[in-house]
Structure formats: structure tokens, C-alpha cells
Homo-oligomer: A and B are copies of this chain.
């Protein structure tokens, strides 16, 4: 038998789950593409769903994590704010530590 510890990591804000791996991936893809639509498509997510995630983060993180400039040449653009970049950086550091914890724990399983 191959036993492995696995798990999930989130950041709660005032007791509400606001940040998780999917949302951080969304932020990273918006940062790279400059487009919520593109980022959503890459993740097989509807534009509407992506906007709901962003809206939830913008509302709950204290400062917006994504700002979007609608219209203009070539349609709207989206930008990850300094707060959003901080969220990405913060989460990735602890996600890495979390995975190290899971690997280390898995090596010690005795069942």
C-alpha cells in the first residue's frame, strides 16, 4: 500500500475562506495575460465564475487584488494590484512549506 498525506491550504479573512490555490492560480494567470477572460479560459472556468472569485477577494482582502479597465482598444484589461501580488507571493511561500510538510509526514507514515 502506498500511503500519502495530502491536503488543502486556504487563507481565511475574519473567519471567511477567501484565498485558496485555485484563486491564486487565477491571479497569476491574470498577471501574465492581463485579461480575466483569458485567465478564466485557461482554467476552464466561466468568465462569470472568475469575476465572482475576484469580486469576493476584492471585497474581503481590505484592498482590491485585481482592477479592471473596461473598454478601450482591444477590450478591457485587467491588472493585479500590489495587494494581489502580495497575496500570490505570500500564498506560494506557505504552499511550498505545506507541501514539504506533507512529504515529510508521508515519509513517516506507519500503518
Contacts and interface: CB of A to CB of B under 8 A. Distances in A.
Q: What copy number does this chain have within its complex?
A: 2
Contacts of A61: 1, 111
Interface stretch (A10-18, A22-30, A37-45): A10-18
Contacts of A10: 5-7
A24 to B, nearest CB: 13
A7 B101 CA distance: 13
Interface residues of A, number: 30
12 contacts: A1-B61, A1-B62, A2-B14, A2-B15, A4-B13, A8-B8, A86-B111, A87-B111, A90-B110, A90-B111, A97-B101, A98-B101
